[in-house]
Structures are given as C-alpha cells and as structure tokens.
Amino acid sequence: MSAGMMILTVTAVLVFCGVLQRVLDRMYMRDREALAVIGAMLVGTLLPNVKLGPVSVSVGGALIPVAICVYLLIRADESLERWRTLLGSVLTGAAVYGLSLLLPAEAEELPVDPMLLYGLAGGVIAWVLGRSRRGAFICGIAGVLLADVTTAAVNWAKGIDQQLVLGGAGIADAVVISGVLAVLMCELVGEAVERMVRRTSAKGGDQT
C-alpha cells in the first residue's frame, strides 16, 4: 500500500472514531460524507485513468480531490477567502515546481521518494498560505497538480512529447499528503493558538 493510500485509510479510521469531527465541521462535511469521499478516492485510484488527448487523469488521485476543492471554494464564506485561496494555490504550485527543479532528476539519488517531498513541501506551504483549514486543503491539492501541469507545459514547449498524468501513481500520494498535511497543521496550530488565547484571557480575568 502506498503512502497516500495509507494516509487515506488512517484518516478514514479517525473519521469513523469521531476524532476529526471539528475538522470536518470546518470543511462543511459530515462523517458519512467524508467516509464516502475517502472510499471513492481509494476505489478511484484502482480505476483506469480518463484520457483526454495528451492528458491522463486519475479518478481517485485528481478528479475527486479537485471536485472537493471546487465544493469547498464555492462554500467559502467570503470572496476574499476565495481569492486568497486561489492565489495560495498558484504560489504553492510555483514553490513545488521550483523544488522539482532543485532536486536531482533521478529518484535513485534521493533517500526518499521525491513525490513524498513534494507532498510535504506542498502541505507546509499550503498551510502558510491557506490561512484556514479549507484554504490549506485546496492549496495543498491544487498546488501539487498545478506544479505537475507546469512541468508538462514546459516540456511541451521544448518539443518533448510527454503525456501529462494527473493524480496517477506517485502524484496521487503527493496530492493526498499535501492536502491532508496542510489541514492537520492548520488544526494543530489553530488549536494551540486558541488554547494560548484562552489561557491569556483567563489570567487577565483573574487579575481584574
């Protein structure tokens, strides 16, 4: 089982146990809806890719994650959040693409799978730029996919005949890791900040 699929499986268990209820509330999802989405992504990765000319799209690794991003973007409370998320997605994609240029071309030269590095980098950057759990998730998912599109576009411009595979194989792992990590970081940091604020408020109230 790949890293991305393991993360989806663990996430499904946490959702079933009610651990991620607060995160799901912020992302406008119920437990059953989240489990259905995770199950669809797991099954979707086993289905044949949808081919559109030079582009091959994975159902579980790209179509479903993008559909979730569109849903969250539409449900955003303010237009400012939408524009900030879109900008964050572009910047995340640019950062992941820049990282791909810095890393060795041969995966064997790296101690870990480069897709894991892209996913981790995308998650951290998306967390910084997303500003919210919804925004971070969208930035993480869209950023990795945009970086892949950029790589293919650059190769096509150079005359290299390369098929663009969105969400396939290792890319699916990077997409899942980036999106999930961004949300978890927002949740952990947000919870820590809220506790600090509550403690500060409690101390201030005791002094008055």
Q: Which residues pair with 56 in a beta bridge?
A: 51, 165
| Residue 1, pLDDT above cutoff 60 | no
Q: What is the pLDDT of residues 138-192, one digit of tens each?
A: 888 888 889 889 988 998 998 888 888 887 755 566 677 777 777 777 667 666 6
CA atoms within 13 A on the CB side of 16: 10
**3-class DSSP assignment, residue 2:** coil
The whole-angstrom separation of Cα 21 and Cα 73 is 20
pLDDT of res. 8: 73
Q: What is the pLDDT of residues 52-104, one digit of tens each?
A: 888 888 888 888 888 988 988 888 777 887 888 888 889 888 888 888 888 76
Which domain covers residue 97, as residue numbers? Answer: 3-207
Instruction: Report the 10 Å Cβ neighbour count for 58.
Output: 25
pLDDT of res. 4: 63
pLDDT of res. 150: 92
Q: What is the pLDDT of residues 92-111, one digit of tens each?
A: 888 888 888 887 666 566 56
Cβ contacts of 180 within 8 Å, gap of 6 or more: 7, 11, 123, 137, 140
pLDDT of res. 114: 63
| Residue 115, pLDDT above cutoff 80 | no
**Choice between 12 and 109, residue whose per-residue pLDDT is larger:** 12
Instruction: Report the 10 Å Cβ neighbour count for 116.
Output: 17
pLDDT of res. 153: 92
pLDDT exceeding 90 applies to what percent of the chain?
Answer: 2
Cβ contacts of 102 within 8 Å, gap of 6 or more: none
CA atoms within 13 A on the CB side of 41: 27
pLDDT of res. 108: 60
Name the maximum alpha-carbon separation found in the chain.
Answer: 71
pTM: 0.77
**How confident is the prediction for the chain on average, in pLDDT?**
76
| Residue 201, pLDDT above cutoff 70 | no
The whole-angstrom separation of Cα 176 and Cα 128 is 17
pLDDT of res. 14: 72
- By DSSP bridging, strand 55-57 and strand 50-52 are antiparallel
| Residue 205, pLDDT above cutoff 60 | no
Number of domains observed in the structure of the chain: 1
The whole-angstrom separation of Cα 126 and Cα 184 is 11
| Residue 130, pLDDT above cutoff 80 | no
**Which DSSP string corresponds to 59-108?**
IIIIIHHHHHHHHHHHT-S-HHHHHHHHHHHHHHHHHHHHHHHHS-SSGG
